[in-house]
Structures are given as structure tokens and as C-alpha cells.
Amino acid sequence: MSTKNQTVKPSERFHLIQASKGWVLPNVWELWEYRDLLWILTLRDIKVRYKQTFLGCAWAIIQPVTNMIVFSILFGRLMKMPTQGMPYPIFVYSALVPWMFFAHALDASANSIVGSGNLITKVYFPRSVIPIAAIGSGLVDFMVSLLVVFFLMVYYGITPGFQLLAVPFLLFILILIVIGLGSFLSALVVSYRDFRYVIPFLIQLWMYATPVIYTTHLVPQKWKWLVYLNPVAPVIESFRDCFLSQPLNMGMLLISFAEAVLFLLLGINYFAQVEKKFSDVI
């Protein structure tokens, strides 16, 4: 089914509905037309997430802080993980916050299409709205848990540097990766339900492949390129550098950005090829 919008008269629209043949371009213009829906679905997820939870937004802090405490005891105290002189709690927390955003957003995005089966079989709208909107509620958690980072910076006496200005850009790269990969996985889960069980496992492994609890300085020079094949690694490292006022590795970040754009293009393109089948399969 491909839809061509032509203006017949100013108020009139013409659609042609037909069997899809061959390769389809992702319809970005249509997505833009439905931006209100994107916004309202995002708001819905945020509201539903915090309604009827006793602690509300506090959960966004409790989770990473608990993780931070456990990791600090395990890797900081017991194993004495080298951190280039940084206190382990802030070292691990400043990376955990963006990582947890990435992990939650990716998981939510990947399961979003299957979770919206009742909508997909009853009404038409650009399907790509769903995996994108699923990212929104993770953003609120991210913002809330950032507060603790600033608290830790004060506690450990770290002077904020200009690097902090890069945080929105880093977040932007993460979001690009999540949209690309999340769209891809959400479409895959529709056809192959196995991936529902694979994704949490994959995210778990991915965390160990990403310098969250360790730093890439520990990786031998010979194998470093492996770490950087992972587009999330430089972003997470850079987040940490921002909060610890360390110099950023701009070269790596640009490679990561390029990889993110590639993920985005591949993801939404795959999504566009299979989205027509969702309502028949779901």
C-alpha cells in the first residue's frame, strides 16, 4: 500500500491504496503531520508510568543509585577497579545514568509495536510514531536521575567545565541510535516473538561491552577498536568525561555519530518495508 498525497483542491486529499510493490521510502513527511499524536502518546506513557506509583519519580533515582552502591562496593571497594583517580561512585553513576536511559528506551521501543496491537488493528496512523513515542518516558527518568549526578559533582568537589554543554548532543546521539535500533527490533519482534526474550539478554551483554563499570583505558591498545565498533561506547565515555570535567575524545564521538546516523537510516528503512504487514501478523 503506498499513499500519494496530491492536492486536488485546497481542502481535498487524494489517496491511492494499492498493493505495495518493491522498496518503499520511509514517509517522513507523514510522520511530521502526525507530530501531535507523537507528542500525546509520549505524554500518555509518562503519565501512565507515574500514576498510581507510590514513589512516583523517585523510582528514577532509586534504581541507578542502588546500582551505583552495589557496583561501588563490588568493583570499587573489593576489586579496586582502576578509574584514573576518580572516586568510583561518581565514575560509575555518571555512566550508569545514560546507559540506563539507553537500555530502558531500547527495551520499551522494541516491545512497543507488539504492545500496541489493539491500535494497529483498529486505526491507521504512521506506525513509526509508536517506537519513537516509547522513548519519551525514559527521557523523564533520565532528567530526574541527572539531579543526582550534579549532587555527586558537588559532593566530590568537581568543578563543572564547558564539557557539560555537550550533554544534549550526546543525548541526541543516543536517541538516534535508539530510534534506529528500536524501530528495527520492534518490527522484528512482530514477526519473530523470540526476540522478546533475546532483547533483555542482548542489552545485558551490551552493557559489559560498553565502558560503564570500567574504562576503556583498561582495554589493550590492540583491541580498542573492538570497543569502538560499539557506537554507544564513545557516547557513554563522553558522558562520563563531561561530568568528571575530562577532555572529550571528539574524533571517536564523530565516528559514533556517523554510526548512529547509519543505524537510524537502516532501522527506519527496515521498518518502512515491513510496517504494512503489522496488522495482519500482530
Partner 1 sequence: MSSNRALLVHGLGKRYEIGTSRARYQTFRDTLMQAAKNIFSRSSEQEASNKIWALKDISFEVKKGDVVGIIGRNGAGKSTLLKILSKITSPTEGYAEIYGRTGSLLEVGTGFHPELTGRENIYLSGAILGMKKREMDKRFDEIVAFSGVEKFIDTPAKRFSSGMYVRLGFAVAAHLEPEILMVDEVLAVGDAAFQKKCLGKIGNVAKEGRTILFVSHNLGVVANICPKSILLNYGKKEMEGSSSEVINRYIEIGREGCGEGTWESPAVAPGTDKVRLKSVRIVSNGEATTDVDIQKDVLIEVEFWSLKDKNKICTSIQLLDKLGNWVLASANMHSVSLEPDEWFNKECSPGIYKTTCTLPGNFLNEGLYSVNVLLLTDAVHLEVTMNEVISFTVYETGLMRKEFSGAWGGVVRPRLGWRTECLQVESKDQPFERGANQ
State the nearest-atom distance from the C-beta of 12 to partner 1, in Å.
Answer: 6
144 binds partner 1 (CB under 8 A): no
CA 44 to chain centroid:
18
Q: Which of 97, 171, 174, 190 binds partner 1 (CB under 8 A)?
A: 190
25 binds partner 1 per the rule CB under 8 A = no
Distance set, CA 20 to CA 128, 160, 184 (Å): 17, 54, 19
Q: Which of 16, 164, 229, 258 binds partner 1 (CB under 8 A)?
A: 16
Q: Tell me the number of residues near partner 1 by CB under 8 A.
A: 43
Q: Cα–Cα distance between 95 and 236 in angstroms, integer? A: 6
Residue 19 interacts with partner 1 (CB under 8 A): yes or no? yes
Q: Residue 117 or residue 161: which is nearer to partner 1 going by CB?
A: 117
- Compute the residue count for the chain: 282
Task: List the interface residues with partner 1, window 199-258 (CB under 8 A).
Answer: none
The residue written with cell numbers 561512585 in the block is: 89
Stretch in the footprint of partner 1 (CB under 8 A) among 17-25, 152-160, 206-214, 218-226: 17-25
Residue located via cell numbers 526474550: 197
Q: Which of 141, 122, 120, 121 is nearest to 131 (CA)?
A: 120
Closer CB to partner 1, residue 34 or residue 75? 34
What does 154-170 look like in DSSP terms, one character per residue? HHTTPPP-GGGGGHHHH
Q: Taking the complex as a whole, how short is the minimal distance between the CB of residue 131 and partner 1, in angstroms?
A: 16
Residue 123 within binding range of partner 1, rule CB under 8 A: yes
Q: Using the rule CB under 8 A, which residue among 28, 32, 44, 172 binds partner 1? A: 44
List of residues 6+ apart from 131 with CB closer than 8 A: 109, 110, 112, 113, 179, 182, 183, 186, 271
At a CB cut-off of 8 Å and minimum separation 6, what does 137 contact?
42, 45, 46, 49, 108
Which residue in 126, 137, 160 sits closest to 246, CA to CA? 160
Binding mask 46-75 for partner 1 (x = CB under 8 A): -xx--xx-----------------------
Q: Are 84 and 215 in contact (CB under 8 A)?
A: yes
Q: Does 150 bind partner 1 (CB under 8 A)?
A: no
Residues contributing to the site for partner 1 (CB under 8 A):
1, 3, 8, 12-20, 34, 36-37, 39-41, 44, 47-48, 51-52, 118-125, 190-195, 276-277, 279-282
